[in-house]
């Protein structure tokens, strides 16, 4: 049984967010840390990797995330510049606040950058969403995942296959704890407040009547550099989307990277049809509303694979691999790669009623953050007491 008070002399948990997919993971964790007895003291650090209103501010409001205590304001840059800049600016934060540990989530550049600073200063690293592997080392996120787990001290996993991946990389069982999926905590906590899709279109100045189609509508997102940075890859993908739009209307929430590349490559015409509604990146509650009533989702996102599985909405993932295999094995996700004919086939299958039904995976139950709070409090307090035990024995 733990005391009601956090031990004097045990520092706060520094919680790091950097980019959009981190925000929905951190929100339930901060709430669970506050609700736990004893409450875990926290300091929220935003690296500033994502910074604009659509990618950042709206999500903070939607998710009821507290204002960051510290913003490192690193902004955009090459991967090396972004990672180095986060490291340079994060180190003095550790010196000033002497945390009990640093908690990082997911696989973005900020995740690895902060973990690297910690390991060199002997500050324990806690990684939420550990052990996911696409086995594709060309993905920057895969490198971030592998390295963060190697130097992480406490690793929280979302699915059981992650444990096997970590074990294969030589990570001891004692460092790993299966807690479930904090993304789904956010989804379940916010589902009631989702903004209806018609309202989202109205607000964006689009005609909501487009959604009124016998086949329903599909939600599209694309942002992976491998899909959107090269015109030879992007053009056939956009052509395939155009063809799909003849079967059912598409709502395409465009990442800034994708928008810039479409415009730069002169491909805007491929999307210029009334059947494709182009929106800027959406708030969390808007996206949740769009997903909840969609007939299907076409995306290369990591998070959407999980959210569609939790919602029971079919998802066609425009990638050759996934680090979230449970969404394919148990959920509604199908990998279609980047081949336009496979995308068309996948859509036809769903529209003919033979798409996947799926089920919700173990521990994707809205209580993952609670499990993290309970485990982490015990782990930190035990570490804190350890030297005293050793000294008295």
Measured from the CB of residue 34, what is the shortest distance to ligand UD1 in angstroms?
26
Answer yes or no: 50 catalytic.
no
| Closer Cβ to ligand UD1, 107 or 307, answer by number | 107
Sheet holding 125-128, edge to edge: 70-71, 42-46, 13-17, 101-105, 125-128, 154-157, 176-178
Largest alpha-carbon pair distance within the chain? 76
Nearest CA to 179 among 29, 74, 72?
29
Q: Is 110 helix (H, G, I), strand (E, B) or coil?
A: helix
Distance CA 343, CA 159 (A): 27
Q: Which two tokens stand for residue 250?
A: 């598409």
Q: Is 274 helix (H, G, I), strand (E, B) or coil?
A: coil
**139 contact partners, CB below 8 Å, separation of at least 6:** 224, 226
| Closer Cβ to ligand UD1, 174 or 264, answer by number | 264
Distance CA 95, CA 214 (A): 59
Measured from the CB of residue 268, what is the shortest distance to ligand UD1 in angstroms?
18
Number of Cβ within a 10 Å radius of residue 178: 18
Measured from the CB of residue 267, what is the shortest distance to ligand UD1 in angstroms?
17
Partnered with residue 176 across adjacent β-strands are: 155
User: What is the DSSP secondary structure assignment for residue 53, as one 8-state letter?
Assistant: I
| Closer Cβ to ligand UD1, 257 or 345, answer by number | 257
Number of Cβ within a 10 Å radius of residue 362: 14
Q: Which two tokens stand for residue 144?
A: 């971030």
Instruction: Return residues touching ligand UD1 (CB under 6 A).
Output: 19-21, 49-52, 55-56, 76, 107-109, 140-141, 223, 255-257, 302
Measured from the CB of residue 302, what is the shortest distance to ligand UD1 in angstroms?
6
**347 contact partners, CB below 8 Å, separation of at least 6:** 218, 244, 247, 248, 296, 298, 316
| Closer Cβ to ligand UD1, 264 or 389, answer by number | 264
Distance CA 24, CA 312 (A): 19
Measured from the CB of residue 284, what is the shortest distance to ligand UD1 in angstroms?
13
| Closer Cβ to ligand UD1, 195 or 228, answer by number | 228
User: What is the DSSP secondary structure assignment for residue 268, as one 8-state letter?
Assistant: G
Distance CA 34, CA 372 (A): 12
| Closer Cβ to ligand UD1, 142 or 370, answer by number | 142
| Closer Cβ to ligand UD1, 158 or 245, answer by number | 158
Between the CA of residue 122 and those of 153, 298, 310, what are the distances in Å? 10, 42, 38
Distance CA 66, CA 304 (A): 24
Between the CA of residue 67 and those of 13, 43, 194, 230, 360, what are the distances in Å? 16, 10, 22, 37, 32
| Closer Cβ to ligand UD1, 104 or 125, answer by number | 104
Q: Which of 223, 230, 255, 384 is catalytic?
A: 223
User: Which residues are the active-site residues?
Assistant: 223
């Amino acid at each position: 049984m733990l005391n009601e008070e956090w031990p004097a002399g045990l520092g706060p948990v520094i919680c790091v967010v950097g980019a959009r997919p981190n925000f929905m993971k951190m929100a339930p964790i901060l709430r669970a840390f506050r609700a736990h007895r004893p409450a875990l003291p926290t300091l929220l650090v935003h690296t500033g990797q994502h910074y604009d209103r659509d990618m950042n501010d709206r999500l903070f409001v939607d998710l009821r995330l507290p204002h960051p205590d510290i913003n490192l304001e690193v902004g955009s840059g090459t991967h090396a510049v972004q990672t180095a800049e986060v490291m340079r600016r994060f180190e003095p934060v550790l010196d000033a606040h002497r945390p009990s540990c640093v908690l990082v989530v997911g696989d973005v550049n900020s995740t690895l950058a902060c973990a690297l600073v910690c390991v060199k200063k002997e500050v324990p690293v806690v990684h939420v969403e550990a052990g996911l592997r696409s086995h594709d080392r060309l993905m920057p996120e895969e490198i971030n995942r592998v390295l963060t787990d190697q130097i992480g001290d406490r690793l929280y996993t979302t699915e059981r296959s992650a444990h096997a991946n970590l074990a294969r990389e030589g990570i001891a069982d004692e460092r790993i704890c299966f807690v479930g999926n904090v993304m789904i905590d956010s989804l379940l906590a916010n589902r009631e407040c989702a903004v209806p899709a018609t309202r989202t279109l109205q607000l964006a100045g689009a005609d909501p009547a487009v959604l009124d189609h016998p086949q329903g509508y599909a939600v599209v997102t694309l942002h992976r550099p491998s899909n959107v940075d090269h015109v030879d890859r992007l053009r056939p993908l956009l052509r395939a989307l155009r063809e799909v739009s003849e079967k059912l209307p598409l709502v395409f929430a465009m990442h800034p990277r994708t928008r810039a590349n479409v415009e730069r490559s002169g491909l805007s015409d491929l999307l210029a049809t009334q059947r494709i509604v182009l929106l800027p990146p959406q708030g969390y509650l808007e996206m949740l509303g769009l997903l909840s009533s969609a007939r299907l989702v076409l995306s290369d996102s990591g998070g959407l694979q999980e959210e569609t599985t939790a919602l029971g909405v079919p998802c066609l993932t425009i990638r050759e691999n996934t680090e979230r295999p449970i969404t394919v094995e148990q959920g509604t996700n199908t990998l279609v790669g980047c081949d336009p004919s496979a995308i068309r086939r996948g859509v036809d299958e769903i529209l003919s009623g033979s798409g996947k039904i799926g089920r919700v995976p173990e521990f994707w139950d809205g209580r993952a953050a609670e499990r993290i709070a309970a485990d982490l409090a015990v782990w930190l307090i035990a570490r804190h007491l350890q030297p005293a035990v050793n000294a008295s024995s």
